[in-house]
């Protein structure tokens, strides 16, 4: 009997918390969706270690850290469904990257043309890059991407490219 009473009390507390969260602006009413970037000229980023230049400390003869600069990657995001809505856009770096043993082995940095915020992240990160009212059916932006790789965290076979497909998510606000 004691167990059944305790279980009912926990359910009431849980129901109360859910009702409270539903009434908090932005908690229950925010909607997160992946943005369609299929009309982007290039959204998949690939590199081989031959593209990189080692980063060496002045007193060291060898560094396992390699910096790879990709140059500009262009994105065209379909935002017609969200015109007139308050929103946040996130740059999402996928967690699983073939050939990479640990997220600590890769730091991705980007600079932008000014519409989105510049920033950095590691695999598995969801980084906010824009917030405001969506005004147009398309948002276009270019990111100057750079990777910093710790080669001790790589397990690539010869000729295997290291790559991933980052994407954008939009969170619409009430």
Average pLDDT over residues 55-66: 59
Rounded Cα gap, residues 123 and 163, in angstroms:
11
Among 23-27, 57-61, 75-79, which range has the highest average pLDDT? 75-79
Residue 128's pLDDT band, with cuts at 50, 70 and 90, is: very high
Lowest mean pLDDT among 6-10, 32-36, 70-74: 6-10
Over residues 89-101, the pLDDT tens digits come to 999 999 988 889 9
* 64 vs 83, higher pLDDT: 83
* 51 vs 79, higher pLDDT: 79
Average pLDDT over residues 107-134: 95
Over residues 137-162, the pLDDT tens digits come to 999 999 999 999 998 998 887 877 77
Q: What integer pLDDT is reported at residue 45 of this predicted model?
A: 53
pLDDT at 86 over 80: yes
pLDDT at 133 over 60: yes
Residue 114's pLDDT band, with cuts at 50, 70 and 90, is: confident
């Amino acid at each position: 009997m004691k167990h059944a009473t305790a279980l009912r009390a926990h359910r009431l507390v849980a129901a109360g918390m859910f009702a409270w969260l539903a009434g908090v602006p932005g908690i229950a009413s925010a909607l997160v969706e992946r943005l369609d970037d299929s009309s982007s000229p290039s959204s998949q980023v690939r590199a081989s270690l031959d593209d990189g230049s080692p980063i060496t400390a002045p007193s060291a003869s060898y560094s396992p850290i390699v910096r790879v600069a990709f140059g500009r990657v262009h994105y065209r995001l379909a935002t017609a469904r969200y015109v007139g809505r308050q929103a946040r856009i996130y740059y999402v770096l996928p967690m699983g990257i073939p050939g990479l043993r640990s997220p600590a082995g890769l730091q991705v940095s980007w600079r932008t043309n000014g519409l989105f915020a510049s920033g950095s992240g590691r695999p598995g990160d969801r980084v906010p890059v824009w917030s405001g009212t969506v005004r147009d059916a398309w948002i276009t932006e270019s990111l100057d991407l750079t990777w910093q790789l710790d080669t001790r965290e790589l397990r690539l076979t010869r000729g295997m490219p290291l790559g991933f497909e980052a994407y954008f998510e939009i969170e619409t606000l009430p």
